[in-house]
Structure 1
Amino acid sequence: MKQYETVLSVNGQQVQSQNLLQSLKHAVTGLGVATSVLVAGAVAILLSNAELRSQVFFSAPVQAIFATEIDLLSTGLAAGGAEVVNNTSKASGTPSGSKNLMPVKFNSIDSSKPLTAGQRQITSYLAKRYSVSPEAVESIVRLAYKVGKEEKVEPTLILAIVGIESSYNPFAASPVGARGLMQVMPKIHKDKFEALSPGDWSPLNPEMNMRVGAKIIREYTRRTGSVHAGLRWYVGAAIHGNDGGYPGKVLALKSRIDSAYQQGSLVASRENNQKVSAVSVAGSEG
């Protein structure tokens, strides 16, 4: 009898424990369903309300974070400890020993020198077009003029390719493996990255990505004899045949960027002439 009571008691405790576990599972499941409903509702609201979506994704705090990340990469402040936390380096062919997004060799952009009037107008135009903070775009514009001069490629062509390829997102990635501002394929152009910084490179490094992209378009333009044909090669039409209108899109954007530069320069020239005229008038009256 005592033995029976003992077994009954133990079985009773097991039943209570099982009931408790089931209750906990039901509670967790209920919370999960409620959370899923709330998330789905929030997503639905964002998808149906363009104005709210714009306010959320292009709000000042979000853009500030984006600008800070680009600034860190552009000025080299991330050189000491930034690591690629996913397997991008392995999948894209980046050397396994390379962990810094910004090798020391590519960590300096002189931001002390003010942009020209034309460059400021370009920055303003691109920031509005791609809904990216002007501070972030300014870093990329500075970089394009630096790289363009050194790699002998028009800076506005570089900026146009960046716009079409990544919409000014330095962390952009495509399903086929293209990475960064100019959507360079690390597996295909590993030799160019290695030539820039042997054993220590990343396709997400803005300057390295832009340098390799500039080298590619310069090489393709030389091979084909024109920028238009070089752009067809850049987008892979040399292999696939169909360029999807890519050269026209890039060159149309380049034309708009060139116009923005000219507009900025023209306004600055008028302002300078007005200042000179005012000084001359003041001098004659004195």
Structure 2
Amino acid sequence: MRTLGVALLATTFAAGAVHAGNQKEEALADSVRLALSNAIKDATPPRPSFRTEDERVRYQAWLAQMSSRLQRKLPDEQTRAEFLSTVWYEARRAGLDPGMVLGLIQVESAYRKYAVSIVGARGYMQVMPFWTNVIGDRNRRALFDMQTNLRYGCAILRMYLDMEAGNLYLALGRYNGSRGKPDYPNAVLSAWNNWK
């Protein structure tokens, strides 16, 4: 097991730097902790639902376009389709733009499911393991599960957006542990432009 962990870390670092900062464990009101905990509990697989046929058609067009763009990063068609439908579902569930979440993932992990940063952030959205203690079931390994990682990341970013009164720039800085510094928010906002 230890050899596997060393090999995983070596592969992660060889594949390129992960840009996660050191998310801060902040004191949360019990109501916020409960809301976050409830947001990540539902293990229902993503199943898009649409109010109108037009919404369904727009989703299908988005999925086809994003799949084409992500083909180099995620060559397996089934993996790519599951990833994109989960990003879309979890982003929308948290009230976020799916393109912005794709931009954040691009900056955080370069679409690597098993990415680990120097400070220990994990997975696509580089979620810090302390979050599993604060709002989860203490299962840090689950942060490498696609849906779990995306659900945590989207719920946490939504919380930061609410804390920052909708200011995406400050929320992104908080997400990365670099609040007030321009590099990370600017990188995510720039990457988001590629996914609009």
For 1:255 and 1:200, the matched residues in 2 are separated by 32
Q: Of the candidates 226, 230, 251, which is equivalent to residue 171 of structure 2?
A: 230
2-structure distance, mates of 1:165, 1:140 = 16
Q: Letter of the 2:82 partner, please give it.
A: S
Using a 3 Å threshold, how does the CA distance of structure 1 residues 139 and 229 change in structure 2: closer, same or farther?
Answer: same
- Please name the residue that 1:88 is paired with: none
Structure 2 residue matching 1:257: 3-state secondary structure: coil
Report how far residue 105 of structure 1 moved: 5.8
Cα offset for 1:186?
1.2
Is the 1:232–1:247 contact (alpha carbons within 8 Å) kept by the matching residues of 2? yes
In the other structure, the counterpart of 1:154 is: 97
Structure 1 position 134, deviation (Å): 3.8
Q: Would you say the 8 A contact 2:122–2:129 is kept in 1? A: yes
Show the 5 A alignment for 1:52-201.
106=43, 108-110=45-47, 116-128=60-72, 130=73, 132-188=75-131, 190-194=133-137
Q: How far apart, CA to CA, are the structure 2 residues paired with 1:139 and 1:211? A: 14
CA shift in 2, pair 1:106/1:192, >3 Å: same
TM-score, normalised to structure 1, is 0.46
The structure carrying a bigger helix percent of its residues is: 1
Aligned CA-pair RMSD: 3.0
Is 1:217–2:161 an aligned residue pair? no
AA matched with 2:94: E
Q: Supply the distance in 1 between the matched residues of 2:47 and 2:155 (Cα, whole angstroms).
A: 22
Query: Where in structure 1 do 4 or more consecutive aligned residues deviate above 4 Å?
Result: 198-201
For 1:180 and 1:213, locate their aligned partners in 2 and report how far apart those are by CA, in whole Å.
10
Match for residue 246 of structure 1?
A: 184
Match of 2:27 in 1: none
1:120 positional shift: 0.9
Structure 1 residues 132 and 250 mapped into 2: Cα distance closer, same or farther (>3 Å)? farther
Provide, for residues 230-281 of structure 1, a one-character-per-residue CA deviation record: whole Å limited to 9, x for no partner: 111111113xx645x11111111212111xxxxxxxxxxxxxxxxxxxxxxx
Q: Give the drift of 1:127.
A: 2.2
Q: How far apart, in 2, do the equivalents of 1:205 and 1:121 lie?
A: 24
Structure 2, unaligned stretches of length 5 or more? 1-14, 16-40, 49-55
Amino acid of the residue matched to residue 117 of structure 2? Answer: S
Higher relative contact order (CA 8 A, sep 6+): 2
Structure 1 contact 124–134 (Cα < 8 Å) conserved? no
- 1:228 Cα deviation (Å)? 1.2
Structure 1 residue 189: Cα displacement: 5.1
Query: How far apart are the structure 2 equivalents of 1:185 and 1:176?
Result: 8
Counterparts of residues 10-29 of structure 1 (less than 5 Å): none
